[in-house]
Amino acid sequence: MLREGDPAPDFELESDEGSTVRLSELRGKPVVLFFYPKDDTPGCTKQACGFRDAYGEYERRGVLVLGVSPDDVASHAKFKAKHRLPFTLLADVDHQVSELYGVWGEKSFAGRKYMGVSRSTFVIDPEGNVARAMYGVNAERNPDDVLAAL
């Protein structure tokens, strides 16, 4: 698990628009990196739409918002268009970045165990360090909790 003050692990992922996003190239401004399990599921939609609804405030504060899940680029593009999400979604199909950030692991749903992403959010400062590490966040409260932490 990452702790506040740790260097944020660098990564390179494909975006919903097909471009490549590299974390180290975003230095100079704070980044909110939120990990979610799956596009267009109830909790993930609440979380993403919460970030959408608060996006103006994130922009006013100069914060870049990025969502990450194991879904592919096509799924992200549909999810983004359907819910008018103004921020970039990143495809972590092989869950490598989720593992780097300590959010990939065993989960259970309806008595069934499986491997997946734990809903977690990281605030990365302009120098590339973890300013806040929030594991197991509440989907509805997460966007407001992150704003309060900035």
pLDDT score recorded for residue 99: 95
Residue 21: name the closest of 120, 89, 86 by CA: 89
Task: Extract the runs of DSSP E, i.e. beta strands, from 1-150.
Answer: 12-15, 20-22, 31-35, 64-69, 88-91, 104-109, 112-117, 120-124, 130-134
> Number of folded domains in the chain?
1
In angstroms, the CA 101 to CA 58 distance is 22
Confidence of residue 105 (pLDDT cuts 50, 70, 90): confident
Please indicate, yes or no, if residue 8 is contained in any of the structural domains: no
Tell me the residue length of the chain.
150
Active site residues: 44
Whether 37 is in a domain gets the answer: yes
Share of the chain above pLDDT 70, in %: 100
Range of the structural domain that residue 68 is part of: 29-149
Does residue 1 fall inside a structural domain?
no
Query: Which pLDDT value is given to residue 111?
Result: 82
Contact 124, 30 (CB under 8 A): yes
Residue 65 lies in a domain: yes
Instruction: State residue 92 phi and psi, 5-degree precision.
Output: -110, 60
Q: What is the mean pLDDT of residues 66-87?
A: 97
In a domain, 13, yes or no: no
Q: Write out pLDDT tens, residues 82-102.
A: 999 999 999 999 999 999 999
Residue 104 pLDDT > 90: yes
Contact 51, 58 (CB under 8 A): yes
22-36 pLDDT, tens digit per residue, is 999 999 999 999 999
- Which pLDDT does position 108 carry in this prediction? 77
